[in-house]
Protein backbone atom coordinates (compact mmCIF):
# COMPACT_ATOMS: atom_id res chain seq x y z
CA UNK A 1 0.00 0.00 0.00
CA UNK A 2 2.83 2.38 0.90
CA UNK A 3 4.63 1.73 -2.40
CA UNK A 4 1.41 2.46 -4.30
CA UNK A 5 0.96 5.83 -2.55
CA UNK A 6 4.59 6.79 -3.20
CA UNK A 7 4.12 6.01 -6.89
CA UNK A 8 1.17 8.40 -7.05
CA UNK A 9 3.10 11.13 -5.26
CA UNK A 10 6.28 11.03 -7.31
CA UNK A 11 4.58 12.51 -10.37
CA UNK A 12 5.11 9.52 -12.66
CA UNK A 13 1.38 8.95 -13.01
CA UNK A 14 0.50 12.63 -13.59
CA UNK A 15 -1.62 12.48 -16.74
CA UNK A 16 -1.05 16.11 -17.71
CA UNK A 17 2.76 15.97 -17.87
CA UNK A 18 4.08 16.60 -21.39
CA UNK A 19 6.62 14.06 -22.60
CA UNK A 20 6.53 14.54 -26.37
CA UNK A 21 8.52 17.60 -27.45
CA UNK A 22 8.95 16.69 -31.11
CA UNK A 23 7.22 19.90 -32.18
CA UNK A 24 7.38 21.97 -28.98
CA UNK A 25 10.00 24.07 -27.28
CA UNK A 26 11.68 22.55 -24.24
CA UNK A 27 12.86 24.21 -21.03
CA UNK A 28 16.49 23.81 -22.12
CA UNK A 29 15.81 25.33 -25.53
CA UNK A 30 14.01 28.34 -24.03
CA UNK A 31 16.97 29.05 -21.73
CA UNK A 32 19.54 28.12 -24.40
CA UNK A 33 21.20 25.83 -21.90
CA UNK A 34 23.35 24.28 -24.60
CA UNK A 35 25.18 27.62 -24.93
CA UNK A 36 25.06 28.50 -21.25
CA UNK A 37 26.34 25.20 -19.88
CA UNK A 38 29.02 24.82 -22.53
CA UNK A 39 30.60 28.22 -21.84
CA UNK A 40 32.90 27.07 -19.04
CA UNK A 41 36.17 26.33 -20.81
CA UNK A 42 38.92 25.68 -18.29
CA UNK A 43 42.24 26.81 -19.71
CA UNK A 44 44.24 24.92 -17.12
CA UNK A 45 42.06 21.87 -16.71
CA UNK A 46 42.40 22.38 -12.93
CA UNK A 47 39.38 21.29 -10.90
CA UNK A 48 38.91 24.64 -9.10
CA UNK A 49 39.00 26.74 -12.23
CA UNK A 50 35.39 25.65 -12.82
CA UNK A 51 34.38 27.41 -9.59
CA UNK A 52 36.25 30.55 -10.62
CA UNK A 53 34.61 30.72 -14.04
CA UNK A 54 31.06 29.99 -12.88
CA UNK A 55 31.13 32.51 -10.03
CA UNK A 56 32.16 35.28 -12.41
CA UNK A 57 29.67 34.24 -15.09
CA UNK A 58 26.82 34.15 -12.57
CA UNK A 59 27.83 37.58 -11.29
CA UNK A 60 27.79 38.94 -14.83
CA UNK A 61 24.27 37.57 -15.34
CA UNK A 62 23.10 39.27 -12.15
CA UNK A 63 24.79 42.50 -13.27
CA UNK A 64 22.95 42.29 -16.58
CA UNK A 65 19.69 42.22 -14.63
CA UNK A 66 20.83 45.10 -12.38
CA UNK A 67 21.45 47.21 -15.48
CA UNK A 68 18.11 46.19 -16.97
CA UNK A 69 16.27 47.27 -13.82
CA UNK A 70 18.34 50.38 -13.08
CA UNK A 71 18.09 51.81 -16.59
CA UNK A 72 14.34 51.21 -16.59
CA UNK A 73 14.09 52.87 -13.17
CA UNK A 74 15.97 55.91 -14.51
CA UNK A 75 13.47 56.19 -17.35
CA UNK A 76 10.52 55.77 -14.98
CA UNK A 77 11.79 58.55 -12.72
CA UNK A 78 12.25 60.81 -15.73
CA UNK A 79 8.64 60.01 -16.67
CA UNK A 80 7.48 60.93 -13.12
CA UNK A 81 6.43 57.31 -12.51
CA UNK A 82 8.17 56.86 -9.18
CA UNK A 83 6.08 53.90 -8.00
CA UNK A 84 7.23 51.78 -10.94
CA UNK A 85 10.82 52.84 -10.27
CA UNK A 86 10.51 51.76 -6.63
CA UNK A 87 9.68 48.18 -7.63
CA UNK A 88 12.67 48.04 -9.94
CA UNK A 89 15.07 49.54 -7.40
CA UNK A 90 13.85 47.16 -4.70
CA UNK A 91 14.62 44.29 -7.06
CA UNK A 92 18.11 45.69 -7.65
CA UNK A 93 18.79 45.55 -3.91
CA UNK A 94 17.71 41.91 -3.77
CA UNK A 95 19.96 41.07 -6.72
CA UNK A 96 22.86 42.79 -4.98
CA UNK A 97 22.42 40.51 -1.99
CA UNK A 98 22.78 37.50 -4.29
CA UNK A 99 26.05 38.82 -5.74
CA UNK A 100 27.39 39.43 -2.23
CA UNK A 101 26.72 35.80 -1.26
CA UNK A 102 28.63 34.66 -4.36
CA UNK A 103 31.84 35.84 -2.68
CA UNK A 104 31.16 33.35 0.13
CA UNK A 105 31.36 30.55 -2.42
CA UNK A 106 34.48 31.91 -4.11
CA UNK A 107 36.20 32.29 -0.74
CA UNK A 108 36.33 28.48 -0.52
CA UNK A 109 39.14 28.74 -3.11
CA UNK A 110 42.48 28.63 -1.29
CA UNK A 111 45.63 30.53 -2.33
CA UNK A 112 47.39 27.28 -3.24
CA UNK A 113 44.48 26.22 -5.46
CA UNK A 114 44.25 29.59 -7.22
CA UNK A 115 47.98 29.60 -7.96
CA UNK A 116 47.49 26.39 -9.94
CA UNK A 117 45.65 28.27 -12.71
CA UNK A 118 46.15 32.01 -12.13
CA UNK A 119 48.84 32.37 -14.81
CA UNK A 120 46.40 31.04 -17.42
CA UNK A 121 44.29 34.19 -16.96
CA UNK A 122 46.97 36.37 -18.51
CA UNK A 123 45.91 40.01 -18.07
CA UNK A 124 42.19 39.19 -17.91
CA UNK A 125 40.67 40.60 -14.73
CA UNK A 126 37.34 41.42 -13.13
CA UNK A 127 38.60 45.01 -13.25
CA UNK A 128 37.70 44.88 -16.94
CA UNK A 129 34.03 43.94 -16.39
CA UNK A 130 32.22 46.38 -18.67
CA UNK A 131 28.88 45.67 -17.03
CA UNK A 132 30.26 46.66 -13.66
CA UNK A 133 31.54 49.88 -15.22
CA UNK A 134 28.10 50.54 -16.68
CA UNK A 135 26.58 50.05 -13.23
CA UNK A 136 29.03 52.61 -11.86
CA UNK A 137 28.12 54.97 -14.71
CA UNK A 138 24.41 54.50 -14.00
CA UNK A 139 25.07 55.43 -10.38
CA UNK A 140 27.06 58.52 -11.38
CA UNK A 141 30.64 57.33 -10.84
CA UNK A 142 32.50 58.36 -14.02
CA UNK A 143 36.22 57.70 -14.45
CA UNK A 144 37.47 58.47 -18.00
CA UNK A 145 40.56 56.25 -17.93
CA UNK A 146 38.49 53.05 -17.77
CA UNK A 147 37.06 53.64 -21.25
CA UNK A 148 40.50 52.93 -22.73
CA UNK A 149 40.18 49.29 -21.66
CA UNK A 150 37.38 48.71 -24.16
CA UNK A 151 38.83 50.28 -27.33
CA UNK A 152 39.49 46.79 -28.70
CA UNK A 153 35.74 46.42 -29.35
CA UNK A 154 34.43 49.50 -31.20
CA UNK A 155 30.76 48.61 -30.71
CA UNK A 156 31.20 48.00 -26.98
CA UNK A 157 33.28 51.17 -26.61
CA UNK A 158 30.50 53.20 -28.21
CA UNK A 159 27.93 51.62 -25.88
CA UNK A 160 30.05 52.52 -22.87
CA UNK A 161 30.59 56.07 -24.10
CA UNK A 162 26.82 56.54 -24.40
CA UNK A 163 26.33 55.31 -20.83
CA UNK A 164 29.21 57.49 -19.69
CA UNK A 165 27.57 60.64 -21.04
CA UNK A 166 24.02 59.80 -19.97
CA UNK A 167 22.33 61.04 -16.77
CA UNK A 168 22.60 58.57 -13.92
CA UNK A 169 20.13 57.45 -11.28
CA UNK A 170 21.06 60.26 -8.91
CA UNK A 171 20.80 62.89 -11.65
CA UNK A 172 17.18 62.00 -12.36
CA UNK A 173 16.47 61.80 -8.62
CA UNK A 174 17.78 65.36 -8.20
CA UNK A 175 15.61 66.49 -11.10
CA UNK A 176 12.64 64.91 -9.30
CA UNK A 177 13.46 67.12 -6.31
CA UNK A 178 13.39 70.17 -8.58
CA UNK A 179 10.09 69.12 -10.19
CA UNK A 180 8.58 68.92 -6.70
CA UNK A 181 9.39 72.60 -6.17
CA UNK A 182 12.55 72.20 -4.12
CA UNK A 183 15.34 74.63 -4.98
CA UNK A 184 18.28 73.07 -6.81
CA UNK A 185 21.19 75.04 -8.25
CA UNK A 186 20.99 75.34 -12.03
CA UNK A 187 24.62 74.25 -12.32
CA UNK A 188 23.60 70.90 -10.86
CA UNK A 189 20.51 70.48 -13.02
CA UNK A 190 22.45 71.32 -16.18
CA UNK A 191 25.74 69.69 -15.29
CA UNK A 192 27.98 67.70 -17.63
CA UNK A 193 26.98 64.09 -16.91
CA UNK A 194 30.39 62.82 -17.99
CA UNK A 195 31.92 64.43 -14.91
CA UNK A 196 31.89 62.72 -11.51
CA UNK A 197 29.10 64.07 -9.32
CA UNK A 198 30.18 66.38 -6.49
CA UNK A 199 28.12 67.12 -3.39
CA UNK A 200 26.07 70.31 -3.57
CA UNK A 201 24.56 72.33 -0.73
CA UNK A 202 21.26 72.92 -2.53
CA UNK A 203 20.79 69.18 -3.04
CA UNK A 204 21.54 68.54 0.62
CA UNK A 205 19.00 71.16 1.70
CA UNK A 206 16.40 69.65 -0.63
CA UNK A 207 16.85 66.16 0.81
CA UNK A 208 16.80 67.65 4.29
CA UNK A 209 13.40 69.17 3.52
CA UNK A 210 12.16 65.80 2.29
CA UNK A 211 13.23 64.02 5.48
CA UNK A 212 11.74 66.75 7.68
CA UNK A 213 8.44 66.68 5.79
CA UNK A 214 7.92 63.01 5.04
CA UNK A 215 4.15 63.25 4.62
CA UNK A 216 4.43 66.08 2.11
CA UNK A 217 7.22 64.45 0.11
CA UNK A 218 6.38 60.78 0.69
CA UNK A 219 7.41 59.55 -2.76
CA UNK A 220 10.70 61.46 -2.69
CA UNK A 221 11.35 60.06 0.78
CA UNK A 222 10.80 56.54 -0.57
CA UNK A 223 13.11 57.29 -3.48
CA UNK A 224 15.83 58.49 -1.12
CA UNK A 225 15.65 55.33 0.96
CA UNK A 226 15.78 53.14 -2.17
CA UNK A 227 18.96 54.96 -3.21
CA UNK A 228 20.50 54.46 0.22
CA UNK A 229 19.65 50.74 0.04
CA UNK A 230 21.43 50.41 -3.30
CA UNK A 231 24.56 52.24 -2.18
CA UNK A 232 24.64 50.32 1.10
CA UNK A 233 24.46 46.96 -0.71
CA UNK A 234 27.02 48.05 -3.31
CA UNK A 235 29.51 48.99 -0.62
CA UNK A 236 28.93 45.64 1.08
CA UNK A 237 29.59 43.97 -2.28
CA UNK A 238 32.81 45.96 -2.65
CA UNK A 239 33.89 45.04 0.87
CA UNK A 240 33.26 41.32 0.37
CA UNK A 241 35.13 41.53 -2.94
CA UNK A 242 38.10 43.15 -1.26
CA UNK A 243 38.22 40.64 1.61
CA UNK A 244 37.85 37.67 -0.74
CA UNK A 245 40.72 38.92 -2.90
CA UNK A 246 42.85 39.52 0.19
CA UNK A 247 42.04 36.03 1.44
CA UNK A 248 43.08 34.40 -1.84
CA UNK A 249 46.03 36.48 -3.14
CA UNK A 250 46.91 38.80 -0.25
CA UNK A 251 48.38 42.08 -1.51
CA UNK A 252 49.67 40.80 -4.85
CA UNK A 253 49.04 42.91 -7.95
CA UNK A 254 45.82 42.03 -9.78
CA UNK A 255 46.03 40.14 -13.08
CA UNK A 256 44.75 43.27 -14.85
CA UNK A 257 47.58 45.41 -13.48
CA UNK A 258 45.68 47.09 -10.62
CA UNK A 259 47.11 47.21 -7.11
CA UNK A 260 44.59 44.55 -6.12
CA UNK A 261 43.47 44.87 -2.53
CA UNK A 262 44.92 48.39 -2.33
CA UNK A 263 42.69 49.58 -5.16
CA UNK A 264 39.63 47.80 -3.75
CA UNK A 265 40.15 49.42 -0.35
CA UNK A 266 40.45 52.86 -1.93
CA UNK A 267 37.12 52.66 -3.78
CA UNK A 268 35.35 51.82 -0.51
CA UNK A 269 35.72 55.49 0.42
CA UNK A 270 33.73 56.66 -2.61
CA UNK A 271 30.11 57.75 -2.06
CA UNK A 272 27.56 57.73 -4.86
CA UNK A 273 24.83 59.76 -3.16
CA UNK A 274 26.79 61.90 -0.67
CA UNK A 275 24.02 64.24 0.52
CA UNK A 276 21.81 61.33 1.55
CA UNK A 277 24.52 60.24 3.95
CA UNK A 278 25.47 63.75 5.11
CA UNK A 279 21.95 64.64 6.23
CA UNK A 280 21.86 61.69 8.62
CA UNK A 281 24.32 63.49 10.85
CA UNK A 282 22.39 66.77 10.72
CA UNK A 283 18.82 65.52 11.11
Does 279 carry a binding-site annotation?
no
Does 74 carry a binding-site annotation?
no
Which is nearest to 94 in space by CA: 127, 62, 67?
62
Instruction: Calculate helix-pair angle for 82-106, 49-78, nearest 10 degrees.
Output: 170
In whole angstroms, give the CA distance from residue 190 to residue 171.
10
In whole angstroms, give the CA distance from residue 22 to residue 222.
50
As to burial, measured by CB atoms within 10 angstroms (0-12 exposed, 13-18 middle, 19+ buried), residue 135 is: buried
Give the other-Cβ count within 10 Å of 197's Cβ.
22
Does 56 carry a binding-site annotation?
yes
Q: How many helices (H) and strands (E) does the chain have?
A: 14, 0
Cα three-residue angle 182-142-264, rounded to 5 degrees:
115
Whether the CA torsion 106, 111, 113, 118 is positive or negative: it is positive
Does 118 carry a binding-site annotation?
yes
In whole angstroms, give the CA distance from residue 88 to residue 66.
9
In whole angstroms, give the CA distance from residue 21 to residue 29.
11
In whole angstroms, give the CA distance from residue 157 to residue 151.
6
Does 53 carry a binding-site annotation?
yes
Longest C-alpha distance within the chain, in Å?
79
Which is nearest to 86 in space by CA: 99, 77, 96, 95?
77
List of residues 6+ apart from 216 with CB closer than 8 A: none
Summarize the annotated binding site for substrate as residue ranges: 52-56, 114, 118, 255
> Which residues contribute to the annotated binding site?
52-56, 114, 118, 241, 255
Mark the binding-site residues for heme, compressed into ranges.
241
Amino acid sequence: MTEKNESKQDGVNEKGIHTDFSNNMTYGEYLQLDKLLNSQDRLSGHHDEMLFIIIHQVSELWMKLILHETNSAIQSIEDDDLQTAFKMLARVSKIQSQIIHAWDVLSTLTPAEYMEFRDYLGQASGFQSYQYRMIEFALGYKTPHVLKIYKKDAELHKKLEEAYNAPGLYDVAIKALSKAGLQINEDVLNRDYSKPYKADESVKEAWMAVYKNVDKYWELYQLAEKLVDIEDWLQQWRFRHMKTVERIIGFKMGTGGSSGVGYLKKVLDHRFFPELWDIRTEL
